[in-house]
Amino acid sequence: MRFAAALFVVLAFAGAPGAEEHPSLRQVQTIPLANVEGRIDHMSVDVQGQRLFVSALGNNTLEVLDLREGKRLTSITGLREPQGVFFVAKENKIFVANGDDGTCRVFDGTSYKLLSTVNFSSDADNVRYDAARNEIYVGYGEGALGVLDAGNGAKVGDIALSAHPESFRLEASGRRIFVNLPNADHTIAVIDRAKQSVVATWPVAGAANFPMAVDERDHRLFVVTRRPAKLIVLDMESGKEVANDAAVGDADDLFYDAARKLVYISGGEGFMDVFRQRDRDHYDLSSRVPTARGARTSLFVPELNRLYLAVPRRGNQGAEIRTYEARP
């Protein structure tokens, strides 16, 4: 079985059109996650302190890793299916969204002591941060984004949606939020965060639109769908589709590397796809990097020039975080 899986990855890479001989991502570190079981979800980073926060959903823990030493610092236990996480350096606080009990728990970034808990209706999921307003956004329930004050952790607002939100992205140069709604006829909701309301809805050609990224300079929005697995690129102003390419299956994270004009997609099929941006409307699959089955969540950190991939325990493969250096 392992041979067959490895052969599949090799053949897939060999067949990738225009695949580079030297991939754009080079593995430089592996951090074992001993005794971590089950699915691993999203991650966040403390750039200055060189720490990685890993939502070990199936283990009900938040793993805190030392990136300099390549080892685990501690595990925050007692969580209930942690899914999203964000470390706010300004406040030295860690916000962790839990799917099972619908809470967002706030921890001190030094002592890891629980500071407060915000209760949502259910399924607290992805977490994002608005640095300009010092606010945290949490996707949750049957359809909403909760807004928290990052300073005191209090809930300050709600934005209603037509279905449960998957990945969403905040526009840094404007006030919009783009939200994937795969259970609302595969649409994207466009939110005005000053008005805290939906101002547009765009259809996505495909099915189950989960991960999302933005290229604000070229006004492009990236979405990866499942069944069929596609990278779809939309105009951020009109919602019009400008590109549609086959991509890795079972993807759960997607990032745009503005410095290198690359798009990184991590998929549970067992590899990462790297697309090179020829121009803002054309993208070529340049690398297909073999990884591991089920390794579908990742985090690209441009400040560190690193991409972190979460590998769950499966069979003889232990749970670990693989660190990749982004190359020219």
Please state, in angstroms and rounded to a whole number, the distance separating the CA atoms of residues 110 and 119: 23
Residue whose C-alpha is closest to residue 29's, from 73, 71, 87: 71
Q: Please state the three-class secondary structure of 52-119 as a single string.
A: EEEEEHHHCEEEEEECCCCEEEEEECCCCCEEEEEEECCCCEEEEEECCCCEEEEEECCCCCEEEEEE
> What does the alpha-carbon distance between residue 246 and residue 12 come to, in Å, rounded to a whole number?
12
| 208 touches 183 (CB < 8 A) | no
Question: pLDDT tens, 63-120?
Answer: 999 999 999 999 999 999 999 999 999 999 999 999 999 999 999 999 999 999 999 9
Residue whose token pair is 């805190």: 64
Q: How far is CA 182 from CA 50, 82, 119, in A?
A: 34, 21, 24
Q: Which residue has the tokens 């500071």?
A: 115
Higher pLDDT, 35 or 8: 35
Per-residue pLDDT tens digits for 121-158: 999 999 999 999 999 999 999 999 999 999 999 999 99
Instruction: Give 7's pLDDT tier (boundaries 50, 70, 90).
Output: very low
State residue 22's pLDDT score: 59
The pLDDT value recorded for residue 23 is 80
What pLDDT score does 18 carry? 42
Both tokens of 198, joined, read 């939906």
Name the more confident of 187 and 6: 187
pLDDT tens column, 251-271: 999 999 999 999 999 999 999
Q: How high is the pLDDT of residue 243?
A: 97
Cα separation values, 179 from 35, 40, 156, 172, 315, Å:
34, 22, 19, 15, 35
pLDDT at 290 over 70: yes
pLDDT confidence bin for 189, thresholds 50/70/90 = very high
Question: pTM for the whole thing?
Answer: 0.93
Model pLDDT, residue 206: 74
Phi, psi of 313 (to 5 degrees): -75, 125
Three-state DSSP class for residue 2: helix
The sheet with strand 220-225 has its strands ordered as 209-215, 220-225, 230-235, 241-246
**DSSP letter assigned to residue 9:** H
Q: What is the mean pLDDT of the chain?
A: 94
Grouping H, G, I as helix, E, B as strand and the rest as coil, residue 146 is strand
CA quadruple 144, 84, 93, 71: dihedral, nearest 10: 180
What was the pLDDT predicted at 21?
53
- Given a contact cutoff of 8 angstroms between Cβ atoms, the answer to whether 285 and 18 are in contact is yes
CB 210 within 8 A of CB 204: no
